Amino acid sequence: MTATTRPGTSAETVETVAMPHGKLIDVHRPAPGAGPRGTAPPPVVLLWHGVGPDERDVMRPLAEAVAREGVLVLVPDWRSDEPDGGRAQLLASLEFARARAAGLGGDPERFVLAGWSAGGSAAVGVALRPDVVGGRRPAAVVSIASRYDLPNRTTGTVPLTDLTGPTGVPETSAVPVTLVHGTADTLIPAGRSRDLRDALAARERPVFLEEPATDHAGVIMTEYDPAAGRCRPSEDPGVLAAGRITARAIARAAGRA
């Protein structure tokens, strides 16, 4: 394992680590004293970026905001243009994060899986089909600005279809799901998350929905740059305020807010 360390934009630190399968992962460690007081290791969030290949840097503003809440945040690269759509790389990063969480300073028993856009539905796939990861359920899942009517990239199944069948029986062992979706999102309308919320609620699964007033990029504290063809950090106060709603939602799912 190789690593390089650089200062974060606030008091937390960021370390870049090479995973065994060759992809890089950023480790955002919370600053001393961040979050609730105490000596217990912080909870861990594995945060997947969207469909752009190897765009872990796009998630940096949000990851740093979550780390400031007292959470250890891991953001891996993965490539959606792989023949399997990125499945092997996503699941390899999940295995790495679970195996190394304690060594990186986090609490592996408080492990939250999160993702944005394509990464969000991939995270929901793990919540609904934990058999793909040997039955090891995350403590919670957070999906940001995604859709659930298409096959996701971890299980290959459609989340809404996975939820079809008889309803009315409480699923007490279900993974809690938090959804965050900007009301001004024109790329993936917020109704996509409302559909999943309703489907989960119909099965009496724990689900929460936050709807900040922002677009697809703003929900992760970024803005889309057409010239670069990717998202970049935003300094717009409204975008930053909306992104903090997302960061707090992740921190709550991890038990930090």
Which residues, given as ranges, of the chain have pLDDT below 70? 1-12, 33-39, 165-172, 257
**Amino acid 6: pLDDT:** 47
SS3 of residue 157 by DSSP: coil
Q: What is the pLDDT of residue 146?
A: 98
Tell me the C-alpha to C-alpha distance, in Å, between residue 208 and each of 71, 95, 123, 134, 182.
20, 26, 15, 26, 14
Q: Write the pLDDT tens digit of every residue in 199-210.
A: 999 999 999 999
Q: What does the pLDDT look like over 80-122, one tens digit per residue?
A: 999 999 999 999 999 999 999 999 999 999 999 999 999 999 9
Distance, C-alpha 71 to centroid of its chain? 13
The confidence score (pLDDT) of residue 168 equals 43
Which string of DSSP letters, residue by residue, matches 59-109? Answer: GHHHHHHHHTTT-EEEEE---TTSTTTTHHHHHHHHHHHHHHTTTTTSEEE
* Residue 252: strand, helix, or coil: helix
Q: Any bridge partners for residue 210, and if so which?
A: 180
CATH number of 3-253: 3.40.50.1820
Domain ranges of the chain: 3-253
